[in-house]
Amino acid sequence: MLSCRLLLALLLVAGLASPAPAFEAGRAGWPDTALARLQAYALVQTLNAELLSNPSATLTLDRWCAAHRLAPAGAKVVADRVRDADKPADAGIRELLGAGPQERVVYRRVRLACGGLVLSEADNWYRPALLSEEMNRELETTDTAFGRVVRPLGFSRSTLSARLLWQPLPEGWEMGAPIPAASGGPLDMPDFLLEHRAVLKLPDGRPLSALVETYTRGILAFPPPP
C-alpha cells in the first residue's frame, strides 16, 4: 500500500490538471470533490504518522502549524487551560500511571492552539511526585503546554490507540469502491478528526502522564493543495 506521503504527492500532481477552487480566508474552504477527499485523508494520516513517531504532540503541532502557515511566522502552540474542568483519576488511569490509591494524580485539560486556532483538546492526568517543584509550579500557575514543561525529563511516548474520527472516503475505496461524487458545496468536516490515547514515560520506564488527545478540523484550516 502507498505511504501517506507518496499518496499525497501523487494527489498533488493529479490536482494540477484542474483549476484550484476559491479559498475563503479564515476557514477551511475545502470543496466536496473526490480529489479533496483524497487529499484530506492523506493529510490527516500524515499528521497521524508524525504524532506516532514523536514523543511530544506539542512540538509536532508546532511544526505542523509552521509548515501549513496556520498562524503568523514564528507562532508557537500554546495551551489554553480549561480551569473549571475536573476528572479525578479512576482505577484505569491509575493503573496506566502505576500510581497507588493514595498517590496524588493531577488532572489538566487544555486546548492547544496556534495563532488562536485550536488544533487539539487534551485530557491529561499526571504524577506531580515525578516532576520538579519548578515544573509543578509552572503547570499549576501558567498555560504552558505540558510537553514544553517536562521536556527536560527526556520522556518517551507510548501510543495506546490512534483512531480516525472522520472517514472522508468510503470503506474499500482503495479496492475500487466509488468515492462520493462532487456535491458542488464545501466538504463537510466534523469538529474532531483524530483521537490519540497515550502514556508518557520517563527514561527509566516509569509512567509520567496519561493523555487523551482529540485533534480538531483546525489542522486542515488552510487552502487545499492546488
Q: What is the pLDDT of residue 83?
A: 84
Q: Tell me, what DSSP letter sits at residue 72?
A: S
In tens, the pLDDT along 55-108 reads 999 999 999 999 999 999 999 999 999 988 889 999 999 999 999 999 999 999
More confident residue, 131 or 26: 131
Q: Give one word for 136, left, alpha or beta, with left for phi > 0 and alpha for psi -120 to 50.
A: alpha
In tens, the pLDDT along 161-217 reads 999 999 999 888 888 888 888 888 999 999 999 999 999 999 999 999 999 999 999
The beta strands (E) that lie in 60-219 are given as: 77-81, 106-114, 117-126, 156-164, 192-201, 207-216
Q: What is the pLDDT of residue 226?
A: 77
